[in-house]
Amino acid sequence: MSSQEQVLEVARRARQAAAELAPLPRAVKDAALHAIADALVAGSARIVEANAADVARAREAGISEYMIDRLSLTDERIAAIAAAVRHVASLPDPVGESVRGYTLPNGLELRQVRVPLGVVGIIYEGRPNVTVDAAALTLKSGNAVLLRGSSSAYDSNTALVEVMRAALADAGGVPADAIQLVPGRDRDSVKHLMRARGLVDVLIPRGGASLINSVVEESTVPVIETGTGNCHVYVDAAADLDMAVDILVNAKTQRPSVCNAAETVLVHRDIAGEFLPRALRALGEKGVTVHGDAAVRAHAGEGATVVEATEEDWGTEYLSLDLAAAVVDSLDDAVAHIRRYGSAHTEAIVTTSQSAARRFTALVDSAAVMVNASTRFTDGEEFGFGAEIGISTQKLHARGPMGLPELTSTKYIVTGEGQLRGA
C-alpha cells in the first residue's frame, strides 16, 4: 500500500470504531480506561525497552539532555501515566449532556445534546506520555483517535499503542481501532492525515508555531490551533507593587518553557520609577535576562541583566529565562501593544483599580485575561476541568484550555407527534 493508502486505511478503521464508540455508556468506557491503566503497568518493562531504543537514537543524534529527559520513560513515569488514565476515568462523561432543551410553541420538544466529534487526529512532538493522555481523553469523550507523534518517539509510541490496543481487545466493549498510531515516520503521513477530510473530523496540532502553521496552511480537515503563547503582564499605574513583582516573577520563572509563561512585561510610566528597579532586581536573582526598551534600561541597577530590546523581541515566545519589557503611557497603550504583538493566549493586569481591571478585561482579546493573578493559571487542571488536551488560541469551537466537553460536538434531537411545517 502507498503511504497515503495506509493513512486512509487507518482513518477508515477509526471512522468505523468511532461509530461503535459513540453510543457506548460511560461504564464501558471507564472499564476500558482502567484496563489500559492496568496494561500499561503490566507492560512497563516492554515499554521501557522500546523507549530505550528511541533514547539511544536520540543520544547518537546529539539531542540535548533536556529533550532526552522529555523523551525518557521509566517504570515510575509509566505508573504516573497509568494513574493519569485512571483519573480521566473518574471524570464526568461529557457525551449525552443536555446543553439546552425546551418545548417549542408547536409542542416539539427540542434538546441539544453533546455527542463525540468522531475521529480526532493529534499531531504532537517529543513526549510519549502525550500518546496515552490523548488516547485516554479522546476515548472518554467517545472519539476514535489517530496519533501522530514525533518520529523520535516512534518505538515508544508503537509500544504504548500496542499495549493500549491489546488492553481494549482483552477488555471488550470498546473497539481496539479507537486508538491507532498513524503509520509512517516521515512527513508524508502528516500530509495525508491533513487531507483526509470526510474521514477525520478534527486535527489538533500540539507543538511549536511552525508545526501549527504548516497544519493550518495545508489541512482541509478542520484544525484547532493550540499552544503558542506570547503572554503579557501589565503593571498598572494603580498597583500593589509587591504583588506585581511576585506575579511577574512567578509568571516568568515558575516554568519558563510552557505556553502560559509570561514573555513581556508592560509597565505604566507613572510607577515605572518605583517598580522597575525592584522588578529588575527580583528577575535578575532568578537569572532572567530582560530585553528592555530605553525607558526600562534607564532603571537597570545592580543585580539586573538588561539588554536592548529589538522590534523582534516584542513578538517572541522565548520559552526561556528571557523577558521583553517596555514602559507604556497608558492602559490603552498596553492594550494596543498586546493586540499588535500578542498571540491572544493569556494576558494579566496587576491593578488596584476596578475601572482599570474592567477596561483591560473588556479590551484585551485573548483566550484568558487575568486580574491580579499569574498567567501560569491558564491550564485545564488549574481551571478545574480535571484534564486538558491542549490550550486553544483560536476563536472557533474552543478557546483557552480544552477539557473533555471541548472534545465533543452537539446534536439536536427534536421529538414530536406528527408536526408539519406550515410556512
Stretch that binds its own copies, among 28-36, 183-191, 222-230, 301-309 (CB under 8 A): 222-230
Nearest C-alpha neighbor of 143 from the set 173, 171, 120 = 120
Contact segment (CB under 8 A) with its own copies among 31-39, 48-56, 80-88, 114-122 equals 114-122
Indicate the residue among 75 and 109 with the shorter CB distance to its own copies.
109
Residue choice 146, 179, 212, 367 for contact with its own copies (CB under 8 A):
367
Q: Which three cell numbers stand for residue 65?
A: 539532555
382 near its own copies, rule: CB under 8 A = yes
Per DSSP, the three-state class of 272 is helix
Which residue, among 366, 359, 96, has the nearest Cα to 231 in the 3D structure? Answer: 366
Cell of 116: 463525540
Q: Tell me, rounded to whole angstroms, the distance of Cα 280 from its chain centroid.
A: 30
Instruction: Return the number of the residue (147 or 249) whose C-beta is nearest its own copies.
Output: 249
Segment contacting its own copies (CB under 8 A): 150-158, 290-298, 311-319, 361-369?
A: 361-369
Taking CB under 8 A as the criterion, the residue among 211, 295, 373, 386 binding its own copies is 373
Taking the least distance from each CB to its own copies, the nearer of 86 and 195 is 195
- Rounded Cα distance between 19 and 175, Å, is 10
Question: Looking at 31, 52, 68, 216, which residue binds its own copies (CB under 8 A)?
Answer: 216
Strand pairing report for 202-206 and 119-124: parallel
Three-class HEC string of 160-229: HHHHHHHHHHHHCCCCHHHEEECCCCCHHHHHHHHCCECCECEEEEECCHHHHHHHHHHCCCCECCECCC
253-272: which residues touch its own copies (CB under 8 A)?
254
Which position has the grid cell 493500549? 164
Q: From residue 1 to residue 40, what is the string marking binding to its own copies with x (rule CB under 8 A)?
A: ------------------x--xx-----------------
Long-range contacts formed by 54-60: CB under 8 A, 24+ apart: 54/128, 54/152, 54/153, 54/154, 54/155, 54/156, 57/152, 58/152
Query: Minimum CB separation from its own copies for residue 308, in Å?
Result: 28
Q: Which is nearer to its own copies, 151 or 410 (CB)?
A: 410
**Helix, coil or strand: residue 112:** strand
CB count within 10 Å of CB 96 equals 13
CB of 419 to its own copies, least distance (A): 5
| Spatial separation of the C-alpha atoms in residues 290 and 283, rounded to whole Å | 8
Q: Residue 16 or 151: which CB sits closer to its own copies?
A: 16
Nearest partner of 148 among 167, 130, 169, 168, judged by Cα: 130
Based on the shown chain and the rule CB under 8 A, indicate whether residue 187 belongs to the binding site for its own copies: no
Minimum gap (Å) between residue 160 Cβ and its own copies = 25
CB atoms within 10 A of CB 270: 15
Q: Are strands 144-148 and 119-124 parallel, antiparallel or unpaired?
A: parallel
Q: Does residue number 66 form part of the binding site for its own copies (CB under 8 A)?
A: no
**One residue of 102, 186, 210, 312 binding its own copies per CB under 8 A:** 102
285 contributes a contact to its own copies by CB under 8 A: no
Q: How far is CA 133 from CA 33, 129, 390, in A?
A: 11, 6, 11
How near is the Cβ of 80 to its own copies at its closest, in Å? Answer: 14
Which one of the spans 57-65, 102-110, 155-163, 229-237 is the region binding its own copies (CB under 8 A)?
102-110
Among the listed ranges 26-34, 152-160, 166-174, 390-398, the one in contact with its own copies (CB under 8 A) is 390-398
The residue length of the chain stands at 423
Q: Which stretch binds its own copies (CB under 8 A): 5-13, 47-55, 107-115, 175-183?
A: 107-115
Q: Which of 94, 118, 126, 207 binds its own copies (CB under 8 A)?
A: 118
Does 193 engage in binding with its own copies (CB under 8 A)?
no
Per CB under 8 A, residues contacting its own copies are: 19, 22-23, 102, 104, 108, 110, 112, 115, 117-118, 197, 201-202, 216-217, 220, 222-224, 240, 243, 246-247, 250, 254, 339, 357, 361-363, 365-374, 376-378, 382-384, 394-397, 399-400, 409-422
